[in-house]
Structure 1
Amino acid sequence: MDISLPYSFSTLLCYSVLYLAVACLWFPASIWGQPLWLILAASAGFIALISGQLTPLGLGLAVLYLFIAYLFSRTTGAKKKWLTLLLAALSLLLGAHLLPGFQNLKVLDAMAVSTDGLPFTMYLNLDKTLVALGLLGWCVPRLSRRQEWHQLLQVLLSRSLLFLLLIFILALASGKVHWDPKLPSYTLLWMLTNLLFVCTAEEAFFRGFLQQQLALLWKNRPLQQELPLALASLVYGLSHFAGGPLYVAFVTLAGLGYGWVYQKTGCIEASILLHFALNTAHFLLFTYPSLP
């Protein structure tokens, strides 16, 4: 069991630029009239093609996905319904790594994060991160002012502690984890990847896109808030079916919390930060990923 490092400078540069691209979604700077995040994403894609992380087909699919997300954000009427279905399907396929042409880099290979836990393998996923870029870049509103961030953090702190406590009490009661504080040498890499590649992509799709589109579809009907929240959380849970029924139940419950805080604040950043807080507490304080 070892840590697999990037094999070339171009591969390292590709993912470094990709981290920056996601982070720059929250910086409104532009170059040559194009948003900075898009310039960085295009640069990462070009470098990925050179380094072998993307094939020409993969690059073509990436460009197509971003273009569809762009069209979705600027289309109204009947055409938008078809774009909604297409964008949802492509997002799910990218998130599940089912589209060809993406050679995601394995950086942790069967690591024993917890001495008695299941082995953990981590990839830097180009395909899944593309969902974060497309949806957050074009389709989902983001915070842009310091005052908005300050207000959000105040609300989030007041609403999230009880949720996190409940999740971990249930997890301990299930017998799938136990108290296991630790600080592995690769913690920074895990945190950076989990925040920018995992949480942003999952929250952009399941809350910012799916839950929001369901809310628009079910507007002015009974349970107009509760039903979209429940359905988006259930789809989120089922997308983790590989972990087994109990894991699906926990992920669905977590999704309800993420969706609820997104619904109450109207800010995708709220669900991203809550998601990241739960994942980080799990990684640092409890068995990770779980007991056998």
Structure 2
Amino acid sequence: MWIILAGALAALSPAKRLAVLLLLLATLLGFFQDVLNWPAFIVLTVIALLVWLRVENPGNRPALIISEAALVLMAGGLFLHLLPGFHNPVQVENVQAGPRSVPFGFSYNFDKALIPFVLLACLPSLFRTQKCPPRNKLCWLLLLVAIPLLLYVAVFAGGLAVELHWPEWLGTFVLANLFFVSLAEEAFFRGYLQQRLRQKMGGVAALLIASLLFGLAHLPGGTLLAIFAALAGVIYGLAWHWSGRLWVATAVHFLFNLTHLLFFTYPALQH
């Protein structure tokens, strides 16, 4: 089921009809495997009705505004795991990536995986929009170099330590983090939020506000995590702003998380 769901997300930009068919198949399997139950059916029905409202009323501005606001609220609920009926199965629980790392766990998140579908209905340019490339292509190299540099800053701040890992659950982490974390978060904060803000306020303000909100979303993990998430959000936001491609921002986000896992205490240093 999870491979099918990941395939639906991978196909969403180039082949929307295939993506929807794969999502329907994954959803049916989700009900059979008790990952989803009847409240999730209600949530999915409401989303489908809101999407239908947009499709059937392309020239009705009030209907478009109301339906978009409702869909964005639904996406926020999915992001925060607030909507009922989703039982995301735990894949790794209370493990240490290394001896100095804080014990942690992660799940496959069906609810977060729905976010790109929901937001694409609001904004057709979610995956591909106008790019604003830097004047010097060297900026891309500097952007990639910023990934380990920011992680090293976290080391000096006392939040991380250098620690090499190659955990047996690496493949599971890659699937979960790429499709059900990085893509979902980038769809919300860069593909939708930063793009909408850029349309209203310009590139710099959109980048800073989206990054700040991304940091605030990580505040439950502590102030230090929120600060570094906001700084990482600037990296992801620049990748999106320069390329105009959601998958580029997602790849940079995933590369950051993978670098963190493989070379530093993950998710944090155990004191």
Q: Do they fold alike, i.e. is TM over 0.5?
A: yes
Alignment partner of 1:125 out of 109, 122, 147: 109
- Which position in structure 2 is the counterpart of 1:164? 147
Match status 1:190 vs 2:182: no
State the TM-score, normalized to the length of structure 2.
Answer: 0.87
Contact 2:127 2:247 in 1 (8 A): yes
Q: Which consecutive unaligned segments of at least 5 residues does structure 2 have?
A: 129-136
8 Å contact kept, 1:160–1:274: no
The 1-side partners of 2:138 and 2:119 are apart by 24
Deviations along 1:237-280, whole A, 9 cap, x unmatched?
11111111111000011111111221111111221011011000
The change in CA–CA distance for 1:101 and 1:159 in structure 2 (over 3 A counts) is same
In the other structure, the counterpart of 2:133 is none
Is 1:112 matched up with 2:100? no
**Identity fraction in percent:** 29
Aligned partners of 1:66 and 1:134 also within 8 Å: no
Q: Is the CA contact 1:57–1:100 (under 8 Å) kept in the aligned structure 2? A: yes
Name the SS of the counterpart of 1:288 in structure 2: coil
Count of residue correspondences: 260
Contact 1:131 1:201 in 2 (8 A): yes
| 1:11 alignment counterpart | none
Instruction: State the SS of the aligned residue for 1:122.
Output: strand
Task: Name the counterpart of 2:187.
Answer: 204
- Partner SS state of residue 107, structure 2: strand
- For 2:40, which of 58, 83, 101 is the aligned residue? 58
Give the aligned partner of residue 43 of structure 1: 25
Partner of 1:248: 226
Does 2:79 align with 1:92? Answer: no
Q: TM-score, normalised by structure 1?
A: 0.81
Deviations 1:86-130 (A, max 9, x none): 222111111110111111101111111121211111111111111
Given residue 198 of structure 1, which amino acid in structure 2 is its aligned partner?
V
Letter in 1 for 2:184: A
| 8 Å contact from structure 1 (residues 206, 236) kept in 2 | yes
Q: Is this contact kept in 2: 1:70–1:138, CA < 8 A?
A: no
User: Which stretches in structure 1 are left out of the alignment for 5+ residues?
Assistant: 1-13, 144-153, 219-223
Quote the residue 2:127 is aligned against: 142
Q: In structure 2, what residue type is equivalent to 1:94?
A: L
